[in-house]
Chain A
Amino acid sequence: SAVISQKPSRDICQRGTSLTIQCQVDSQVTMMFWYRQQPGQSLTLIATANQGSEATYESGFVIDKFPISRPNLTFSTLTVSNMSPEDSSIYLCSAEGGGFNIQYFGAGTRLSVL
């Protein structure tokens, strides 16, 4: 299994600003994932981040809004840019670490945008 440290755990931000969320994994992993959970909704995949290549974004998510970095096999960041109240969500990172694509998760970042 993998242990993932995610920070910040929560933040309150002003409209129009940006927030960068960091995830550190305790072992080297090939694939990391970023999810969003809006109130009352399911966990939705934003993008897949592989080291050494650009992130692959899901339909409805764009790089300008959610730029992702993956500088090495243990670290990734997600930036939520030019925030609006609709970006208020829980953001989670995960890493694939077992058979059948088991993913291990960080504890999430609870973001409120005023």
Chain B
Amino acid sequence: ILNVEQSPQSLHVQEGDSTNFTCSFPSSNFYALHWYRWETAKSPEALFVMTLNGDEKKKGRISATLNTKEGYSYLYIKGSQPEDSATYLCAFNTGFQKLVFGTGTRLLVSP
């Protein structure tokens, strides 16, 4: 059974703070690592797909890094805004079309 873990489970920051989350996954049989943002009552939105060790991806104030050798990825948010409040999910992909999700990190950004 594949185990994907995310930490912390939840996070409460003030507007303007920078923050980061961790996703840990198996270091073998790696194909890709996905990050999603899921706002309440909306569809999970794909943020990044990361495939190569050392990958860094950026989208506005959000960026992510990948270490496949040690099995972790970091998601960073610079200068958090209230609209960043959401649950951030990572999903491990072994290449057989199935995604194995972590339990997510719930972020709340207060004005």
Q: What is the number of residues of chain A that contact chain B, defined by CB distance less than 8 Å?
A: 25
B45: nearest chain-A partner, CB-CB: A105
Given A4-B43, A105-B44, the answer on whether A100 and B93 have CB atoms closer than 8 Å is yes
**Contacts between the two chains (Cβ within 8 Å), count:** 57
Which residue of A99, A100, A101 has the most chain B CB atoms within 10 A of its CB atom?
Answer: A101
Asked if residues A100 and B43 are in contact (CB atoms below 8 Å), the reply is: no
Q: Give complex CA distance A104, B38 in Å.
A: 12
Task: Of the listed stretches B14-22, B60-68, B69-77, B96-104, name the one at the interface; the rest are far from the partner chain.
Answer: B96-104
Interface of chain A residues 21 through 76 with chain B (CB within 8 A): 31, 33, 35, 40-45, 48
Picked from B34, B44, B93, the residue with its CB within 8 Å of the CB of A92 is B44
* Nearest CB of chain B from residue A2's CB, rounded to whole Å: 10
Given A4-B43, A100-B49, the answer on whether A40 and B103 have CB atoms closer than 8 Å is yes
- Which residues of chain B are near A44, meaning CB under 8 Å? 101
- Which residues of chain A are near B101, meaning CB under 8 Å? 35, 42-44
Q: Give complex CA distance A43, B102 in Å.
A: 7
Interface bin, chain B: 20 to 34
Which residue of B31, B102, B103 has the most chain A CB atoms within 10 A of its CB atom?
Answer: B103
Picked from B43, B97, B103, the residue with its CB within 8 Å of the CB of A42 is B103
Task: Decide yes or no whether B32 CB sits under 8 A from chain A.
Answer: yes
Asked if residues B103 and A102 are in contact (CB atoms below 8 Å), the reply is: no
- Which residues of chain B are near A96, meaning CB under 8 Å? 97
Asked if residues B97 and A104 are in contact (CB atoms below 8 Å), the reply is: no
Known: A42-B103, A102-B34. 8 other contacts (CB 8 A): A41-B103, A43-B89, A45-B98, A92-B44, A99-B49, A102-B46, A107-B43, A108-B43
Give me the interface of A with B, judged by CB distance under 8 Å.
Answer: 4, 9, 31, 33, 35, 40-45, 48, 92, 96, 98-108
Closest 4 CB pairs of A and B: A43-B101, A100-B32, A42-B103, A105-B44
